[in-house]
């Protein structure tokens, strides 16, 4: 490990520990929403349960997406619990269904974390200077560092290398079925309507691994789409009514109209960040001259693929920080701050319904559909048009800057500790490399991975160093990336890559 990396790891871990301490301090001094309304002990338990669950949700995605091409027979004896999820997820279009339910789970869990640990207006702690309060509490940096490093990045790192070990437990099975259940409810089915519209506009067909729906299946599907659309419109109506009335946890002093504008701006930023990764990997297989003639599309691709591709993985890390930051701010903007019996409820609903509104579920539905999935679908269908937006270039610069600061480098330390604690081993130990599997007549089945329009499939997690470097040192990852975006391996063979020594 070079000195620069060590310094980043140390200062990032110090920031993480300090963030955790002050957030726990807020909870036990009853200066967060849940600790004030219910009890500090409950808020403490819920926030750590949510972080652990978020870690499994993020790592589970990495594992299930990465294992999609692998034959079940290779690991059914060594990982009997893992196959309980992969055996379902990798049949038909179940992986797409899981990913949609999982996207909602991530956003909803972040809303819950914010409810447990987000500071109330005017919060103070232990006589800390105002500048410390403003940086770590008012701006939400403390919550972002804790959530990103503890609940997201470290699990993505481990699950990118140790997919089989990561989901070989019943907690992963439970998480998988919760995600599938969320999709089955139909809450997110408006996304399928958007998927069809985007495909129609692009003039392309959506591929499926399942036969056409029967009349009953079609009726059930479109019925849920209609219900989802009604729920989305209702969620927007409730949220906008609360924003215009100043009945959310938005910071004091912000005009109600500004809150409404900020809500849509933040949703657009989240959508932009979600779509950027899709668009970047969609054009990764193209030659430079095929990436369009638009000024900002060319500037973005030149920066992104400069040298040996280090900026691509750097963006992925910085993007995670930006997305989490925006999720927390959106949670603050959209979370209703109405105590039943203490004021007028939204639209005059009963106290029980108002308590349901206060959970943040409506904000999570809006953010998932309009601020995440929709943008991913558009980016998958029109990647070059997406990259022509000058804001994409600006956000790429911001993400690269955040990654360069090393502010989340502590995630690699946590990933190493987690791997040693649970005895994670790389997947090659159990299933061999892609070449080994081919020699056994068990070549990877890449048909299990749907790509293109309507299938905004992202890579399975954040890589701790350059993505291209990881492809060079890990044949399994190289095969997977190639199956996703058909990256030309000659670019890998001709480059001089450093080895991955962080985890």
Angle (nearest 5°) at CA 174 between 417 and 20: 40
Per-residue pLDDT reduced to its tens digit, 192-223: 888 888 778 777 777 777 788 889 989 999 99
DSSP-derived secondary structure letter, 199: H
pLDDT at 442: 59
How far apart are alpha carbons 367 and 375 in whole angstroms?
11
Kind and range of the H or E run holding 37 = helix 33-37
336 and 358 in contact (C-beta within 8 Å)?
yes
Most confident of 275-289, 299-313, 340-354, 408-422: 408-422
Angle (nearest 5°) at CA 429 between 425 and 431: 120
Per-residue pLDDT reduced to its tens digit, 261-274: 888 888 888 888 88
How far apart are alpha carbons 249 and 142 in whole angstroms?
18
Tell me the pLDDT of the chain averaged across its residues.
77
Higher-pLDDT residue of 464, 150: 150
Higher-pLDDT residue of 64, 305: 64
Q: Is the pLDDT of residue 495 over 50?
A: no
Per-residue pLDDT reduced to its tens digit, 446-475: 555 555 555 555 554 444 344 445 555 555
pLDDT at 70: 78
Task: Tally helices (H) and strands (E) across the chain.
Answer: 26, 0
Structure token pair of residue 30: 């009853």
Structure token pair of residue 491: 């670019």
Handedness of CA 466, 470, 472, 477 (dihedral sign): negative
Q: Is the pLDDT of residue 147 over 80?
A: yes
Dihedrals phi, psi of 32, to nearest 5 degrees: -125, 165
pLDDT grade for 364, boundaries at 50, 70 and 90: confident
pLDDT grade for 391, boundaries at 50, 70 and 90: confident
Contacts (Cβ under 8 Å, ≥6 apart) of 282: 379, 380, 383, 485
Contacts (Cβ under 8 Å, ≥6 apart) of 350: none
Structure token pair of residue 494: 């001709």
State the Cα torsion 185-97-62-16 to the nearest 10°: -30
Nearest Cα to Cα of residue 73 among 491, 432, 502: 432
Neighbours of 377 (CB within 10 A): 27
**Tokens 């100043």 label which residue?**
246
Nearest Cα to Cα of residue 427 among 152, 63, 10: 63
What's the predicted TM-score (pTM) here? 0.75
273 and 323 in contact (C-beta within 8 Å)?
yes
């Amino acid at each position: 490990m070079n000195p620069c990396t060590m310094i980043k790891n140390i200062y990032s871990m110090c920031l993480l520990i300090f963030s955790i301490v002050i957030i726990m301090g807020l909870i036990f001094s009853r200066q967060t929403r849940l600790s004030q309304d219910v009890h500090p002990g409950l808020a403490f338990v819920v926030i750590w349960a949510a972080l652990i669950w978020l870690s499994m949700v993020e790592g589970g995605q990495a594992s299930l997406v990465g294992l999609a091409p692998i034959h079940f027979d290779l690991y059914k004896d060594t990982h009997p619990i893992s196959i309980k999820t992969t055996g379902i997820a990798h049949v038909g279009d179940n992986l797409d269904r899981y990913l949609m339910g999982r996207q909602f789970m991530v956003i909803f869990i972040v809303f819950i974390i914010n409810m447990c640990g987000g500071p109330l207006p005017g919060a103070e702690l232990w006589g800390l200077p105002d500048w410390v309060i403003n940086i770590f509490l008012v701006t939400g940096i403390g919550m972002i560092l804790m959530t990103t490093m503890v609940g997201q990045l470290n699990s993505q790192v481990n699950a990118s290398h140790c997919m089989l070990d990561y989901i070989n437990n019943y907690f992963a099975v439970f998480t998988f079925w919760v995600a599938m259940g969320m999709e089955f409810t139909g809450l997110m089915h408006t996304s399928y309507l958007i998927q069809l519209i985007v495909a129609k506009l692009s003039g392309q067909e959506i591929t499926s691994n399942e036969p056409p729906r029967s009349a009953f299946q079609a009726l059930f599907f479109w019925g849920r789409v209609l219900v989802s659309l009604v729920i989305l419109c209702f969620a927007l109506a409730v949220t906008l009514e609360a924003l215009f009335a100043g009945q959310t946890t938005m910071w004091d002093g912000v005009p109600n109209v500004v809150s409404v504008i900020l809500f849509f701006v933040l949703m657009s930023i989240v959508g932009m960040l979600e779509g950027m990764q899709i668009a970047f990997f969609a054009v990764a297989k193209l030659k430079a001259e095929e990436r369009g003639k638009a000024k900002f599309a060319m500037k973005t691709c030149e920066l992104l693929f400069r040298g040996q591709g280090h900026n691509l993985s750097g963006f992925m890390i910085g993007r995670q920080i930006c997305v989490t930051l925006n999720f927390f701010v959106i949670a603050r903007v959209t979370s209703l701050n109405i105590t039943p019996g203490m004021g007028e409820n939204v639209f005059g609903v009963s106290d029980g319904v108002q308590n349901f509104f206060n959970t943040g579920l409506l904000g999570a539905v809006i953010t998932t559909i309009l601020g995440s999935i929709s943008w991913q679908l558009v980016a998958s269908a029109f990647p070059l048009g997406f990259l022509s937006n000058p804001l994409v270039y600006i956000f790429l610069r911001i993400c690269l800057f955040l990654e360069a600061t090393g502010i989340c480098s502590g995630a690699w330390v946590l990933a190493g500790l987690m791997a040693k604690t649970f005895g994670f081993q790389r997947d090659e130990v159990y299933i061999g490399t892609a070449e080994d599997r081919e020699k056994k007549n068990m070549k990877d089945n890449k048909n299990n991975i749907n790509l293109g329009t309507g299938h905004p499939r992202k890579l399975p997690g954040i890589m701790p160093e350059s993505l291209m470097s990881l492809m060079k040192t890990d044949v399994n990852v190289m095969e997977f990336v190639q199956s996703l975006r058909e990256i030309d391996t000659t670019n890998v063979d001709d480059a001089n890559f450093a080895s991955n020594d962080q985890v």
